[in-house]
């Protein structure tokens, strides 16, 4: 589980973070394909990116509904950001967009 300053993550926070990191993973793989000029790999990963993005829409919708109902604790943005930084620390796009240490530049090329 990622280190956070705000205690345990809720199930919703974990699902949002994990699914978003999945999208960032495939964005990173698409970037790699572009860098290498590997068009088959790009086609394959872009297809997987589309599916991951569709799943993110579903998970984000669940988080939105939970926040709108206000019956349970709403997903906390800073906690989700920290989880994304931790779960995504191995992916170029995640390091760039959500560095583990905010204020420092994230990933390399």
- Find the mean pLDDT for residues 84-107: 85
Closest CA to 31 of 80, 96, 100: 96
Q: What is the pLDDT of residue 69?
A: 86
* 40 phi and psi angles, rounded to 5 deg: -65, -45
Q: What is the pLDDT of residue 13?
A: 96
- Find the mean pLDDT for residues 32-43: 98
The whole-angstrom separation of Cα 41 and Cα 56 is: 22
Average pLDDT taken over every residue of the chain: 89
Q: What is the pLDDT of residue 109?
A: 38
Least confident among 29-33, 49-53, 96-100? 96-100
Q: What is the pLDDT of residue 104?
A: 57
70, pLDDT greater than 90: no
């Amino acid at each position: 589980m990622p280190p956070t300053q705000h205690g345990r993550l809720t199930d919703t926070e974990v699902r949002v973070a994990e699914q978003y990191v999945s999208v960032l993973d495939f964005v990173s793989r698409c970037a790699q394909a572009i860098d290498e000029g590997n068009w088959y790999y790009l086609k394959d990963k872009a297809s997987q990116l589309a599916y991951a993005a569709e799943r993110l829409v579903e998970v984000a919708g669940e988080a939105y509904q939970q926040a709108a109902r206000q019956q349970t604790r709403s997903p906390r943005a800073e906690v989700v950001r920290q989880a994304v930084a931790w779960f995504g620390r191995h992916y170029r796009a995640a390091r760039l967009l959500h560095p583990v240490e905010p204020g420092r530049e994230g990933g390399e090329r």
